[in-house]
A and B are shown apart, each in its own frame.
Chain A
Amino acid sequence: MKDEDYIGKIKEESSKWLYQCVDKVKEKYPERKEKFMTSSGIEIKNIYTPDNIADLNYLNDLGFPGQYPFTRGVQPTMYRGRFWTMRQYAGFGTAEESNARYKYLLSQGQTGLSIAFDLPTQIGYDSDHPMAEGEVGKVGVAVDSLLDMEVLFEGIPLDKVSTSMTINAPAAVLLAMYIVVAEKQGVYLDKLEGTIQNDILKEYIARGTYIFPIEPSLRLTTDIFKYCSEYIPKWNTISISGYHIREAGATAVQEIAFTLANGIEYVNAALKAGLNIDDFAPRLSFFFSAHSDLLEEVAKFRAARRMWARIMKERFNAKNLKSMMLRFHTQTGGSTLTAQQPDNNIVRVALQALAAVLGGTQSLHTNSRDEALALPSEDSVKIALRTQQIIAYESGVCDTPDPLAGSYYVEYLTDQIEDKALQYIKKIDELGGAACAISNGFIQKEIQDSAYRYQKEIEKGERIIVGLNKFKSEEKYHGNLLKVDPQVGEMQKEKLRKLKTQRDNEEVKRRLSELKEAACGQENLMPKIIDAVRVYATLGEICDVLRSVFGEYRENIIL
């Protein structure tokens, strides 16, 4: 009763304040805009008070860090215990060059590796495939066979680093290669820590490196879940990614809505394949973007954690608390970087990284200032990494978990984002789940509409991007840009040619035909893929076998 009186009094006083103070000031000095909105279209009020979060139940809706529903973070001590993993996505050219970059990053205090593969690798083509022309080594490292993987991790003990690999359609093949490299280093599989992205649904939605149709792709995904739960217990078997959805133009709300909807689809696929929820769910991980709208982003991360916890507990009946924890990696928003005045990007990245940290991320990649122009140069990567270190060691925001909790505005935004995202999930459920909502183009269309709206806002000057549509200056960027050696393609082709004369081709043939047989049936494909990789069957050969059985995905073009 006392609380109700208190809220009632606040309500009364705020309308008085609005009427007596705000309106009066506005008459003389109008506000900058008619309406203030977050990037997700949530209208922002003049002020937030306890009245706006009167329904918030602290124990049920927030709880404590490390406790259900994990709104305040997944670990009890958060960054008081240890900082997030500073993990810069890197890779280009040959395995040799990338290996050198990884060693450089580790020497600069980076705490985990994140491997970028080139596009042919991501789409299951060897470097000598006609489709690979001009693409080899460009946006990541070229890996054609176990041979390249051995070079990539030469001198890097796999029991000492955690490795994240951005690989999706052929994730099983690259994971198999990693496993064999570990064996050769004498590292036990239960010591391996890391992540494969392995999130095919968002490839159909936003990122585009799909190979097979949805159903066999989900089989590969669940085969990996199963294999890892038995042999590599510390491996994150998937990184369910909102990042690329956001990059394609989604709002913050759409980002978490579509990502969690994909998550629900993976859980359903695994349950259908006969797995027990608490056997695989603790190893599901997530990947989000951080944009510059700082408080909305923080609210987004908090909302996502609470939503996933409830989905796992209430919808899927998970019992293990670890199954309910949304652990996530964050990357600052590539699409927010401008080619104009690239040094400004350092500041954008700092804000976005701060949002990720205030939002309780488990690992973080900070973009480099020159990424609207090219792959990042070594100098730029260093500033990006230093940005994380400054936040960690100098800003003080890491000294208590979830420091923005209790802010009327942040809690209100967290609720709003959750509500709006839940509406999307409901809609997707009605459409038959994420796979259906992708097949019929619903999700893609929603994202495209947002992307177009955003672009129009910039062009009309309703949304200001400093240096792009305001505060412009004609200046050339003087930093060095990274150039990938144009010879990489030829070098990889030569390596492949040599490999094919040196390996036991009869053995390769035998392993590939065993894989084909398995693919036609129901058994778990991981062991067969590992066998093929071990005898140096190439990525392209393995994917071709699977293509011949599964077929290829055809994009549903929606404009």
Chain B
Amino acid sequence: MKRPIRVLVAKPGLDGHDRGAKVIARAFKDAGMEVIYTGLRQTPEQIVEAAIQEDVDVIALSILSGAHNTLFPKIMNLLKCRGAEDIMVIAGGIIPDEDIPFLKSVGIKEIFTPGTPTSKAVEYVIENVKV
């Protein structure tokens, strides 16, 4: 039997809007995944540390503060430094279309913008994570 997918739902940045993070965490859980939620205001270092400690397959970042262009590359860089590039990173939140190519170029696999059904993110994870 396959083991369940492990997901870290993380909130980088200073914004406190965790409705999306909590809703998606619950949707992952309902889909049978093991979910860890970091809580608010996590630094890139804290997120990468948690991901490695918890041995997750996926990091799902949620951000609405507008600091994604600064924080996401940092997270990707730290993952590389720690030899953890195999962890898939996806993101959601208020992220303008024009920022998406840059974020994908630093290694974010997929970006889910406002209005995305949770089922779409769940399917994406199931299809793209090999456990």
A555/B39 contact (C-beta < 8 A), A138-B67, A468-B115, A484-B66 known = yes
Contacts of A406 in B (CB 8 A): none
Contacts of A373 in B (CB 8 A): 94, 96, 114
Say yes or no: is B4 at the interface (Cβ < 8 Å to chain A): no
B16 touches A207 (CB 8 A): yes
A451 touches B19 (CB 8 A): yes
A83-140 CB contacts (< 8 Å) to partner B = 119-120, 122-123, 130-135, 138-139
B19 touches A559 (CB 8 A): no
Interface string of B102-131 (1 = CB under 8 A from A): 000000000001110111000000000000
A134 touches B18 (CB 8 A): no
A557/B67 contact (C-beta < 8 A), A135-B14, A209-B16, A481-B96 known = no
A451 touches B65 (CB 8 A): no
A374/B96 contact (C-beta < 8 A), A559-B26, A559-B35 known = yes
Nearest-CB residue, chain B, relative to A137 = B66
A559 touches B22 (CB 8 A): yes
Q: How far is the CA of A157 from the CA of B46 in the complex (A)?
A: 45
Contacts of A165 in B (CB 8 A): none
Interface size on B, as a range, is 20 to 34
Q: How far is the CA of A375 from the CA of B65 in the complex (A)?
A: 10
Tell which of B13, B66, B94, B113 has the most Cβ of chain A within 10 Å: B66
Interface string of B26-43 (1 = CB under 8 A from A): 110100000101011101
> Dominant SS at the B interface?
loop
Contacts of B40 in A (CB 8 A): 208, 555
Tell which of A203, A372, A559 has the most Cβ of chain B within 10 Å: A559
Contacts of A448 in B (CB 8 A): 22-23, 26
A372 touches B114 (CB 8 A): yes
Nearest-CB residue, chain A, relative to B114 = A339
A139/B15 contact (C-beta < 8 A), A459-B118, A555-B39 known = yes
B49-71 CB contacts (< 8 Å) to partner A = 65-71
Say yes or no: is B48 at the interface (Cβ < 8 Å to chain A): no
Instruction: From B13, B27, B118, give the contact of A135 (CB < 8 A).
Output: B13
Q: How far is the CA of A207 from the CA of B64 in the complex (A)?
A: 12
Contacts of B67 in A (CB 8 A): 133-135, 138
Tell which of A135, A249, A468 has the most Cβ of chain B within 10 Å: A135
Q: What is the minimal beta-carbon distance from A113 to any residue of chain B, in angstroms?
A: 22
Say yes or no: is B5 at the interface (Cβ < 8 Å to chain A): no
Say yes or no: is A452 at the interface (Cβ < 8 Å to chain B): yes
Nearest-CB residue, chain B, relative to A467 = B115
Say yes or no: is B25 at the interface (Cβ < 8 Å to chain A): yes
Q: What is the minimal beta-carbon distance from A461 to any residue of chain B, in angstroms?
A: 10
Say yes or no: is A458 at the interface (Cβ < 8 Å to chain B): yes
Say yes or no: is A276 at the interface (Cβ < 8 Å to chain B): no
B94 touches A451 (CB 8 A): no
Interface string of A244-255 (1 = CB under 8 A from B): 000111000000
Say yes or no: is B80 at the interface (Cβ < 8 Å to chain A): no
Interface size on A, as a range, is 35 or more
Say yes or no: is A407 at the interface (Cβ < 8 Å to chain B): no
Contacts of A452 in B (CB 8 A): 22-23, 26
Contacts of B117 in A (CB 8 A): 458-459, 469
A330-344 CB contacts (< 8 Å) to partner B = 335, 338-340
Say yes or no: is A38 at the interface (Cβ < 8 Å to chain B): no
Instruction: From A135, A203, A339, give the contact of B115 (CB < 8 A).
Output: A339
B85-111 CB contacts (< 8 Å) to partner A = 94, 96
Nearest-CB residue, chain B, relative to A119 = B14
Q: How far is the CA of A123 from the CA of B94 in the complex (A)?
A: 21
Q: What is the minimal beta-carbon distance from B3 to any residue of chain A, in angstroms?
A: 20
B70 touches A134 (CB 8 A): yes
A208 touches B17 (CB 8 A): yes
Nearest-CB residue, chain A, relative to B14 = A119
A459/B19 contact (C-beta < 8 A), A134-B13, A139-B66, A374-B96 known = no
Instruction: From B19, B37, B39, give the contact of A248 (CB < 8 A).
Output: B19
B43 touches A455 (CB 8 A): no
Instruction: From A135, A338, A469, A557, give the contact of B39 (CB < 8 A).
Output: A557
Nearest-CB residue, chain B, relative to A122 = B14
B23 touches A455 (CB 8 A): yes
Closest 3 CB pairs of A and B: A208-B16, A134-B70, A134-B67
17 contacts between A and B (CB under 8 A): A131-B43, A134-B65, A203-B16, A206-B16, A207-B17, A209-B14, A247-B19, A248-B17, A249-B19, A335-B19, A338-B114, A372-B94, A374-B96, A458-B117, A459-B119, A468-B115, A559-B37
